[in-house]
Amino acid sequence: MLILAPMQGLTELLFRRAFYRCFPGAFDYAISPFISLTHGNLRDAEKKLTDVLPQNNRDAMLLIPQILGYENAEFVDLANRLFDLGYREVNWNLGCPMRRVAHKHRGSGMLPYPDEIRSVLEYVLPRIKPSLSVKIRLGYYCADEIDAVVPVLNDFPLDNVTIHPRIGKQMYSGRPDLQKFQRVLPSVHHRVIYNGDVFSVADYKKIRSLFPSVNHVMIGRGALYNPMLPIQIRQQCPEDFPLSDKLQESFQNVPSIPYFIQSLMEDILQMDISHQAKGRKMKEYWCLLSRALPGTEARKRHVLHADRLEDIHRLILEMAK
Ligand SMILES: Cc1cc2nc3c(=O)[nH]c(=O)nc-3n(C[C@H](O)[C@H](O)[C@H](O)COP(=O)(O)O)c2cc1C
């Protein structure tokens, strides 16, 4: 399976819808960017629920919502609310590396405290209706923290465990620690999903050949650097993804990456936000998606220097054609 990684501000509904419209069948499903249980109330969560409401996701890929936080009662309320909306699985974020999050023992900041993880799981699991999966790193301060986390996870009936083999302190620098991942893998009793630095078909093949038992791979930045990547993986790895004739044909007829970028920009124009916010959003996506286009970096940077929304949009359209 190929899974689109959650990326706050990037793989939100807007992106998932445009992506699905252009490349249906590329990903099996997506994990939503996290919904935070901030400060023990659901105000932030309410706002974020818009992203996962089924009526908004009808024309987007299958989704599993993600929760960030440890507030037991709120966790249960939100998970059950998501179940009532139709979600049979929710994902718990134990990987977010941002300092202000991690310092409060949220995200990867909880990995040094396996007893706290146990206490949340003990409270939450018997009380929630959907099944639970978790997304973790190897640790926050050091990669050996996972050695004490895995036995805790093994004690609970989780759906699966996604492992991004970096530590929180690393943020996104350096490389995933594949040796540590390899050492940890046999000790995990749940289905493991690999995540981290799959930017090409060769990267995917490397992960599959190093870890043949791991046949679920989650891709984040790779899908923004090259939106065709999941389709290329499916086409070039028929042993993992036997393609029906129909899918084969549909992949041959997918629109080009420039068309996808144009289409995403059109959707941004339609959003109910200020001109300034639209311009910022276009630039954010452009920084990542423009890597898939020919042309020099200097020319692509023109977009970032433009101020007016019309200019930003026009420059993007000129280069994405
Ligand atoms: C801008 C950004 C936002 C992210 N937001 C989330 C998030 O909401 N939840 C989460 O579990 N991981 C989040 N991540 C981590 C990604 O899901 C993924 O684990 C990470 O990017 C490594 O995978 P990749 O190398 O395929 O991108 C985020 C990453 C980035 C770069």
CA gyration radius for the chain?
A: 20
Q: What is the DSSP string of 223-269?
A: HHH-TTHHHHHHHH-TTTSPPPHHHHHHHHTPPPHHHHHHHHHHHHH
- Residue 64 DSSP SS3: strand
Helix (H) or strand (E) holding 126: none
Q: Which residue CA neighbors atom 2 of ligand 1 most closely?
A: 7
Cα–Cα distance, 321 to 312 (Å, whole number): 15
Q: Which residue CA neighbors atom 22 of ligand 1 most closely?
A: 196
CA of 249 to the centre of ligand 1 (A): 31
What's residue 41's pLDDT? 56
pTM for this model (two decimals): 0.96
Average pLDDT for residues 272-292, to the nearest whole number?
Answer: 97
Pocket test for ligand 1, best of 2, 3, 4, 8 (most atoms within 8 A of CB): 8
pLDDT tens digits for 175-227? 999 999 999 999 999 999 999 999 999 999 999 999 999 999 999 999 999 99
Which amino acid, one-letter code, is at 109?
A: G
What are the pocket residues of ligand 1 if the criterion is a CB atom closer than 6 Å to any ligand atom?
5-10, 33-34, 66, 93, 95-96, 135, 164, 172, 195-198, 219-222
**CATH superfamily of the 2-252 domain:** Aldolase class I (3.20.20.70)
Ligand 1 atom at minimum distance from 107 CA: 11
What's residue 42's pLDDT? 57
Cα–Cα distance, 9 to 15 (Å, whole number): 9
